[in-house]
Amino acid sequence: MNWNQQRVLVTGAAGFIGKHLTARLVELGADVTAFIRYNSEGGRRTFLTRDGKPAPIRVVAGDIKDYHAVHQAVAGQDVVLHLAALIGIPYSYVHPYDYVQTNIVGTANILNACRALGTSRVMLTSTSEVYGTARYTPIDEEHPLQAQSPYAATKIAADQLGLSYYRSFDLPVSLVRPFNTFGPGQSMRAVIPTIIAQALRSDVVRLGALSPRRDLTFVEDTAAGMIAVAETSACIGRVINLGAGKDIAIGELAERIFSLMGRDIRIKSDEQRARPEKSEVQRLVAGTAVAEKLFGWMPAHSLDDGLRKTIARQQERSESGDAGEYRV
């Protein structure tokens, strides 16, 4: 697919991955519309390119749970890349119904609008959390789905809904399943920016469970993989994993970050940061053979390369006092 002048709607464009994906699409020449959740700042939000210049995109503020708003945003688009979701796992234990409304009903709204309007390509964003603790590794796309949190349950439902629209209505849906993504601009809810932020201001870093193992992919690689999925016809009707194919324990990850920062840091266990015992996903490591076969995707960044870039950007933001919300 030639992205030049392709009309592309990105939902959840103000989110961590969405910002990087939007910036890359602009670089490729796409005519991008960013659908973001409305709030009091919605009308004044701007997106920046990688060099800090205003990105030439259209920003639409709305709510993914509002079908009328979604239908209006989808109208006239060639491609829809759906990233909008509630993603914080701890909050899903407290208010699971919010996740049902946003992740399932919101996805249904996207699918129905795309079906009604004849959208030529639809990509839904899943999560490796749907696999639960690995029964075997690497985790390929045929691995059983195991919801170990309400968040994961709603993502499984959204995934299956999307695949059902492909099978039932021939809607050109592809499903991308990123493993843990990290990089500049990530929310402090995530483990890597939390570790870096604490290490920048203290000699003690408080963490929850240290033994869970995660497969970590730099955000630019995840964005590149998503674009490849969206432009590859062979991905229609399929689930595609995106990951590094390597895992690391959270405790080992923290020590790696401390070493790259040149800091002597002590880790202290904080039970309040831990998930409920049965909800903790102990190991995630991606099987990426399908992505490699269909469109030759592999991460371009090593874990250390990505961590260095993330640390440098977070240090820069800390020193300047810049929140950097929309800059990638």
Residue 94 belongs to domain with CATH number: 3.40.50.720
In this prediction the pTM is 0.91
Domain range for 177: 7-185+216-243+287-301
In a domain, 63, yes or no: yes
Read off the pLDDT of residues 137-179 as tens digits, 9 standing for 90 and up.
Answer: 999 999 999 999 999 999 999 999 999 999 999 999 999 999 9
Query: What total number of domains does the chain contain?
Result: 1
Rounded mean pLDDT, 40-53: 61
Q: Determine the Cα–Cα distance for residues 23 and 52; give it in Å rounded to an integer.
A: 10
Say whether pLDDT at 324 is over 60. Answer: no
In a domain, 60, yes or no: yes
In a domain, 293, yes or no: yes
Confidence of residue 326 (pLDDT cuts 50, 70, 90): very low
In a domain, 69, yes or no: yes
3-state helix, strand, coil in the chain (%, to 5): 45, 20, 40
In a domain, 267, yes or no: no
Mean pLDDT of the chain: 91
In a domain, 256, yes or no: no
Handedness of CA 273, 319, 214, 150 (dihedral sign): positive
Amino acid at position 237, single letter: G
Read off the pLDDT of residues 194-235 as tens digits, 9 standing for 90 and up.
Answer: 999 999 999 999 998 888 999 999 999 999 999 999 999 999
The percentage of the chain sitting over the pLDDT mark of 90, rounded to a whole number, equals 79
In a domain, 209, yes or no: no
In a domain, 321, yes or no: no
